[in-house]
Structure 1
């Protein structure tokens, strides 16, 4: 069976070619012009970054991608769906404000920002998932389903519940409406280690479902209200909020793959991942730790599965940055993402995506 092609370029530049020009060459060499963009709406799925986070992709990269699409006759727009948790992206107005503050405006990117699931995260389309093991109808932001073409532009980094955030997470989790995100998270609800908890209330402040209460200087989580978004896990200064069992995280990974399938099935799609500022946790955090490895480069492919595997392989070949969480945690798993977040196994999403027919794990890396 023929391997999927994944194209790669490093972050080195010359006086004749800067990083934006190099990204243009990468995606053109990878074949983005094989897609018929003429007068077609092209959704560029991006993560705008939470307020306070500085690891998200600079908007210059999205402008580069949008400019290429426009040169091919397409109508690009930048898009994401609203979040479950309290923060700068829970509704469309705050979400657009956050995007603009972080540099994603029509003036800097050359295209508009559209929040795909609407003002309150309820503007969704039910999309059948053929062969879905857990999801029969995915709840996808309507603007994404209205698009003719889907382009994912992902910041490849760690994630505390699914291992890493790459193309599959950017599409699967990112394109789910608020109800869709709740469905994906529903089998992964955290708990509090009462001995470690100091009752600081950080977890309660970020809970969008009012599921966390502080009693006698100890936090507790009402699982009947909890959406399982995992935001409390990342903000706890004492590491007292524990993620759900491996089985629950496995189910989350599989649901995420099924949501990605719902978004991509039957439409032209193309995927770009930048393995830079590889923070240990998601850009959804209002803060970011130092990267776990040095910047590696830019990757592109028509196959989101092969792209994720290639990026993960590239990260795992790198030594840990001194002082990073990866160095502090050690390398017992021989997998950097499992060392940072040992309660989850990212390969589950990959294997499930292969089973669904989203792509292949075997890839040919073509360096330009």
Structure 2
């Protein structure tokens, strides 16, 4: 956290590792999804009195969009659960014949892929597709499938990506159900809207112009409204045209009837999927009403702070 700039000095409040300093303070939560029996929820988070879900809305390679659901579903768990179990669920459904796959063959597929998404693990002697990097060739001919030429039955299926979004809804519900509903609030910051997750830990250009900040007690409404506003705003074409293809490929047809995040991350990565899974589980409603609390004009006219420091701790 400190390496990324999140410190007590920069945030004005204590920064406490969500699962303890050794990432080992967890509370096991039972689930029944895709062969997964349990998830290790972060103990420090579940000990909190209230939950303020402060989210930077941005793109995400695994699901198109990282918002309120993603912030809780991944941020609310220990490292192994977050990276191996939840992210790893995309490998649940088989998409090639492992017995026919070789290192030499997967390298052939990797060479054909502009995103180098096909991968080989030397330790496990196993091939896989890094779904985070895959943009499904933006709906055109899938070059890795073409390179496979039927040898292993290599396919890219929406089901693999959908399972990640569904498990995010499952994981987020576990966290939210652990709190009094009256003590939960979601804030989505649609500012500096970058194409990839902040986990990258590097500066990225904003590909969508600033929109504002959304606040609600309904996690489904938070992300649906955010996605609708992003769709209305659209991609900043002057910015995306300057980004080299080795970092980000964009659908050549920007007029395609796809969400802006699908234009970047591929048609199979429908950013609304997680909200649909969440709504089906009674986590909120996709119906919402936008009420402007503070306009950009009012904000610009406000007096700046008189001090750049606190006279005393604000967290008591």
Q: TM-score range by the shorter chain?
A: 0.5 to 0.7
The one of 328, 337, 341 aligned to 2:261: 337
Change (3 A) 1:232 1:294: closer
Give TM-score, length-normalised by structure 1. 0.59
The one of 108, 111, 125 aligned to 1:197: 111
Unpaired segments ≥5 residues, structure 2: 97-105, 136-141, 146-154, 241-248, 294-316
Q: Find the counterpart in structure 1 of residue 168 from structure 2.
A: 256
Structure richer in strand, relative to its length: 1
Q: Find the counterpart in structure 2 of residue 161 from structure 1.
A: 62
SS of the residue corresponding to residue 271 of structure 1 reads strand
Tell me how many residue pairs correspond in the alignment: 249
Change (3 A) 1:276 1:307: same
Q: Deviations over 1:60-92 (max 9, x none)?
A: xxxxxxxxxxxxxxxxxxxxxxxxxxxxxxxxx
Measure the CA separation in 2 of the matches of 1:340 and 1:203: 15
Contact 1:333 1:339 in 2 (8 A): no
Contact 2:112 2:144 in 1 (8 A): no
Q: Find the counterpart in structure 2 of residue 29 from structure 1.
A: none
Pair 1:359-2:284 in alignment: yes
Deviation at 1:137, TM superposition (A): 3.5
Measure the CA separation in 2 of the matches of 1:121 and 1:240: 40
SS of the residue corresponding to residue 127 of structure 1 reads strand
Pair 1:212-2:136 in alignment: no
Matches within 5 A, 1:1-368: 96-99=1-4, 102=5, 104-128=6-30, 133-134=33-34, 137-181=38-82, 182-189=84-91, 194-197=108-111, 212-213=121-122, 222=126, 245-267=157-179, 268-321=183-236, 322-324=238-240, 330-342=254-266, 343-368=268-293
Deviation at 1:229, TM superposition (A): 7.6
Tell me how large the CA RMSD over aligned residues is.
3.5
Measure the CA separation in 1 of the matches of 2:107 and 2:125: 11
Change (3 A) 1:212 1:120: farther
Contact 2:117 2:131 in 1 (8 A): no
Deviation at 1:195, TM superposition (A): 4.7
Measure the CA separation in 1 of the matches of 2:131 and 2:264: 15
Change (3 A) 1:195 1:142: same
Measure the CA separation in 2 of the matches of 1:212 and 1:241: 18
Q: Find the counterpart in structure 2 of residue 18 from structure 1.
A: none
SS of the residue corresponding to residue 274 of structure 1 reads strand
